[in-house]
Chain A
Amino acid sequence: MTDILKTTALLLLAIAIPFLSWGATVEMIAPDTMMVDLDEFEVVGVQRPYAEVIPSQRLSGDQLESLNSHSVADAVRYFSGVQIKDYGGVGGVKTVDIRSMGTNHMGVFYDGIQLGNAQNGQIDLGKFSLDNIEEISMYNGQKSEIFQSAKDFGSAGTIYLRTRYPRFPSGKRYNLNLTFRTGSFGLLNPSVRLEYRLSERVSASVNAEYTNAHGRYKFRYRKVFSDGTLAWDTTAVRQNGDIEALRLEAGVFGYVNEGKWNVKAYYYDSEKGIPGAIVNNVWKNSQRQWDRNFFTQGSYQQRLSERYELMVNAKYARDYMRYLNPDTTLMYLDNQFWQDELYISTANKYTILRDWDVNLSVDYQWNTLDATLTNFACPTRHSLLAALATAYRWQRLKAQASILGTFVFDHSKIISGSDYLGRRTNKFSRFTPAVFVSYQPIEDRDFNLRAFYKRIFRMPTFNDLYYTDIGNADLKPEYATQYNVGLQHRWNFDRTIFKSFNVTADAYYNEVTDKIIAVPKGTGQYRWMMMNIGEVHITGVDVTAQLSMLLPYDIAINGQLNYTYQTAQDYSDPTDCLDEAGTYKGQIAYIPWHSGSTILNATWRGIGLNYSFIYVGERYHNSSNIPANYEQPWYTHDLSASYAFNVGKVGLKATLEVNNLLNQQYEVIMNYPMPGRNYKLILKVDI
């Protein structure tokens, strides 16, 4: 215990040092050219020698806007190696899983700071609209840049969401953007964003979005005899998929000499129906959910000397969730959950030599969960994360290594049956490494070989540990170990219609061990206990290609292709291998062997056309890969057309989307029918 206290004290000191030194080192630097434009700032970033040993997959700007996507989850489907669990509809839960390691191994960052959910560890990306998102990027392993918070080192895969940054054409003091989306599912979705330049160096933005949809759509189930004749065919309307949501966001962004800062607040309030599983004799469900999420966060980044750069992030978040099951044919439930999170982080980068940087990041986070559940353990968690990272460049070799120390202290009530037996403290500490290397074999060629190794774990969530009856306070963390080798080659052409062609290919092997899974418990029906008994081995290949062309008459064409092959085998129970139904080495639930996507985009003056296609191959809904558990492949074609024009100084844009063009009736998750062909109209006004 004293050791842990000592470590804590040291690490807290490490957090404090930058604050202390900051006051002393502020010096006036003659204002150089104002870096008002973020892109400019980014360009500076890109030129840093070690930035991103392995680049991300990313979607941004017009490409992101032209994808027929409502939420972040819809857009993330276009990344290779990603599988999405989509329960359907406007308000349906959508969670993401990178390289089959499980949703809980995925970190999601919003403007540089991680979105937390200590309760179940899952971020519902369906809740995040693309309205205010400028760029989504995804990294396997971690963002291979060392100047980042310790939490950036703490997931097996990471998605970064970057909100729009205010930009002003010269002489303009404000931007006003009005958007209105409508279409199928009774969608009414207005939003407004105002960006205001407060001074040369400071700007602010306010963004509000309202979503209302009844969420109803037709779905069809049918079965045929083996000779192809119809057995049954039924069409019904998906009910209880309504949503009403309000999102408010405000931010202030500023630059100082050799630095930048931002402060923002986010509020999301929604009520939605949970459409539920469609089973025999039950074609409608009545469960409801309310969410209120608030967070405020700030970030400050400053170069304090030639050699030393500092970044400080801080956040407070409060989340409320209410789940109601009013269905009189089921157990009545009306549960409410409150979560609080406090987070502070510092990253300190020091340049030892011109080609050698080190970084020390220390994060502290505090989480609590309270609930109206009977005998709830009311857990509190203190997490201290410290990451030491170094980046080195030698000629055309770039290398990075990091080690992350995680120290977790949980406090909870011990309740056995209905007896309160005192308080429990669980302590946990572990160090986990990561190494990233890339090498450019030929000097003048944009061809890179790359490899990484990373070992990381995810903490058991509060639900895993303390959920009344199911939780198991003795759970250990769940580990993910990743090995990846790959290459990237980019060709730029100056004089042909082809502008550029970029290919990446990565092969990987992941092991998830001590996987936390539910096991049946005792005499009662459907009673479960969380246990560390799962093991999954994943072998996969991700291939991506991007093509950019400029045809005569200024027709620009961009294409993107992603393909993933994965085997994700269940190694949990070596005894379960009696016949073909055995789960041992079976492909785990909902992971297809083949999946991929393509995007084709053409623009000519103000006209844009976009085609996108998503393919998810055959899967099984559990690791017993028998015909009774088979799930069909699904694939959707989406089309959109847009026209942008100016009336005076006002920019107008209209977009029409047709999604699931061929009206495929499919399911991502068993018994959760997805929408068929649907439409959306988007009108935008930029003042």
Chain B
Amino acid sequence: MKSTIKYALMLIAAVALLGSCRGEDVIFIPEEVEVSTPEYTSIKGFYLLNEGNMGSNKATLDYYDYASGVYTRNIYGNANPSVPKEMGDVGNDLKIYGSKLYAVINCSNKIEVMDVATTKRIGQIDIPNCRYIRFHEGYAYVTSYAGPVEIRPDYTQKGFVAKIDTATLQEVDRCIVGFQPDELEIVDGKIYVANSGGYMVPRYENTVSVIDLATFAEIERIAIDINLHRVRCDRHGQLWVSSRGDYYDENSKLYCYDTRKKRITAKLDVPVSNMCLDGDSLYVVSAQWSYVTMSNEITNCIIDVNSHEVVCDNFIKDGTDAEIRIPYGVMVNPITKDIYVTDAKNYVNPGYLHCYGGDGIRKWSVRTGDIPAHFVFVGDEKQ
């Protein structure tokens, strides 16, 4: 009898000992990787926001420090150890205004506001389904998909632009725009908002909404193309607007809209996943699905905003562009002209950040979080 019990207990013990036991969940210690040699300019470093796949709650923040050449992964949790469930689900935009760092966390329905120097949390602004953020004279303007719902007879929901006082972090006004507004840009007292209509398939939106800053009311719609995504303004008052296309017959394209002449001045057959303006050069990266080859066609180029022409077909000159699976984010250092391109890989595994010199030769690569996407430089970009 005794031996029986002993035997039974041994069986239980055997199972218990087979693997390790559960420990406490420990605050993630940021991982530091030395990727390059020190570099001293007025730009001290950059933050990189990793989106993290939907539902994974894996939006993370990385930082690259030029003075040490050290890349640090996943710094938010350690900087803010008292925040439950860390930064959130799907980081969608990242900007600095004054001394604050604003991360738009799409599926957590909030904008996380942090101190630029320490990444410590200052507060959050609750905006449902928030997408992109821009600033103007003490106010933040944020696009959101989650405007008023209408049933007429089908369910529709317009988007809006929220106006937020950056001193109090309170939303002070809303302006309804088109369906599913994405990027926005502020030029000469007006906000230009790219409406996508991404939830309305196949009835995409095809307009840019123009909001008068003074009255904060929509004053105009400019028809460009379907499913608009990005809008960036160069120093000549030209808006560079990208269309995602319908993913079938209509390819992604790039348009130039002159805000002064009030007309489209160029239509380029250039697919756009992301883009970055540096002076008069527009750097574009893209992955476009082809139903012919059943694969993504990976491209990148530089466009001269004056001539509206592609001046460089592939700014990666050493052949390493072949290693990029899904180019997702792009950023150019305005001082050194180094180009940073992120690779989102398969969206669920960690991505990569590649740094190329102005000559197109890769300088270094580093692993990031999941879906590395949005950059912001820390320090003075004009020197």
Contacts and interface: CB of A to CB of B under 8 A. Distances in A.
A685 interface: no
The residue among A519, A563, A596 with the most chain B CB atoms within 10 A of its own CB is A519
Contact of A531 (B294, B348, B365, B369): B294
B15 A598 contact: yes
Interface string A97-113: 00000000000000000
Contacts of A328: 128, 146, 149, 157
Interface string A559-601: 1010100000000000110110101000000001111111010
Contact of B349 (A224, A374, A416, A581): A581
Contacts of A232: 81-84
Given A628-B28, A628-B369, A281 B110 contact: yes
B300 interface: no
Nearest to B25: A223
Given A472-B294, A523-B286, A593 B19 contact: yes
Contacts of A228: 24
Contacts of B287: 520, 522-523
Nearest to A565: B18
Nearest to A227: B26
A592 B11 contact: no
Contact of A418 (B58, B128, B202): B202
Contacts of A579: 367
A545 B12 CA distance: 12
Contact of A624 (B19, B146, B245, B349): B349
B219 interface: no
Interface in A509-553: 519-524, 526-527, 529, 531, 545, 547, 549, 551-552
B175 to A, nearest CB: 18
The residue among B20, B24, B82, B250 with the most chain A CB atoms within 10 A of its own CB is B24
B57 A551 contact: no
The residue among A329, A330, A374, A595 with the most chain B CB atoms within 10 A of its own CB is A329
B14 interface: yes
A386 B29 CA distance: 57
A666 B23 CA distance: 11
A225 B27 contact: yes
B68 to A, nearest CB: 20
A626 interface: yes
B288 A635 contact: no
A576 B349 contact: yes
A92 to B, nearest CB: 15
Interface stretch (A121-129, A272-280, A433-441): A272-280
Nearest to B7: A547
Nearest to B146: A329
A223 B229 CA distance: 38
Given A225-B81, A280-B57, A526-B53, A632 B22 contact: yes
B27 A223 contact: yes
Nearest to B273: A523
B346 A519 contact: yes
Nearest to B151: A332
A545 B108 CA distance: 47
Given A223-B25, A279-B89, A626-B350, A330 B53 contact: no
Interface string A620-643: 011110111000111100000000
Contact of B347 (A416, A520, A594, A621): A520
Given A226-B29, A232-B83, A563-B15, A417 B246 contact: yes
A375 interface: yes
A224 B77 CA distance: 11
A198 to B, nearest CB: 46
Contact of A282 (B26, B87, B107): B107
A352 interface: no
Contact of B26 (A226, A523, A527, A623): A226
Contacts of A598: 11-12, 15
A615 B18 CA distance: 9
Contacts of B87: 280
The residue among B26, B247, B349, B369 with the most chain A CB atoms within 10 A of its own CB is B349
B209 interface: no
Contacts of B28: 627-628
B69 to A, nearest CB: 18
- Looking at chain A's contact residues, the main secondary structure is loop
Interface residues of A, number: 85
B259 interface: no
Chain B interface residue count: which class? 35 or more
A575 B244 CA distance: 29
A7 interface: no
A624 B350 contact: yes
A647 interface: no
A474 B294 contact: yes
A497 interface: yes
A20 interface: no
A279 B108 CA distance: 7
Contact of B88 (A279, A498, A576): A279
A617 B58 CA distance: 22
B23 to A, nearest CB: 7
Interface string B37-80: 00000000000000001111110100000000000001000000
Nearest to A596: B15
B129 A583 contact: no
A44 interface: no
Contact of B109 (A282, A474, A519, A527): A282
Nearest to B9: A600
Contacts of B21: 633, 635
Interface string B104-133: 010111100000000000001010110000
A627 B23 CA distance: 14
Nearest to B344: A520
Contacts of B109: 281-282, 329
B92 to A, nearest CB: 8
Given A223-B27, A563-B15, A563-B18, A526 B273 contact: no
Contacts of A114: none
A534 to B, nearest CB: 10
A73 B237 CA distance: 62
A330 B246 CA distance: 20
Nearest to B365: A578
B199 A615 contact: no
Contacts of B129: 329-330
Interface in B331-383: 344-350, 352, 365, 367, 369
B172 interface: no
A221 interface: yes
Interface string A630-664: 00111100000000000000000000000000001
Ranked nearest first, the 7 interchain pairs of A and B with the lowest CB-CB distance are A617-B19, A522-B289, A280-B88, A594-B19, A417-B248, A279-B89, A279-B57
22 contacts: A221-B25, A231-B27, A232-B83, A280-B87, A280-B105, A280-B110, A416-B248, A520-B346, A521-B247, A523-B244, A526-B53, A529-B289, A547-B11, A557-B8, A559-B11, A563-B15, A592-B19, A593-B19, A617-B18, A617-B19, A628-B60, A635-B22
Interface of B: 1, 4, 7-8, 11-12, 14-16, 18-29, 53-58, 60, 74, 81-89, 105, 107-110, 124, 126, 128-129, 145-146, 149, 155, 157, 198-199, 201-202, 229, 244-250, 252, 271-273, 286-289, 291, 294, 296, 323, 325-326, 344-350, 352, 365, 367, 369
Given A332-B157, A524-B198, 15 more contacts: A225-B26, A279-B57, A280-B86, A280-B87, A280-B108, A329-B146, A331-B145, A520-B287, A529-B294, A592-B19, A624-B350, A628-B28, A628-B369, A671-B55, A671-B56
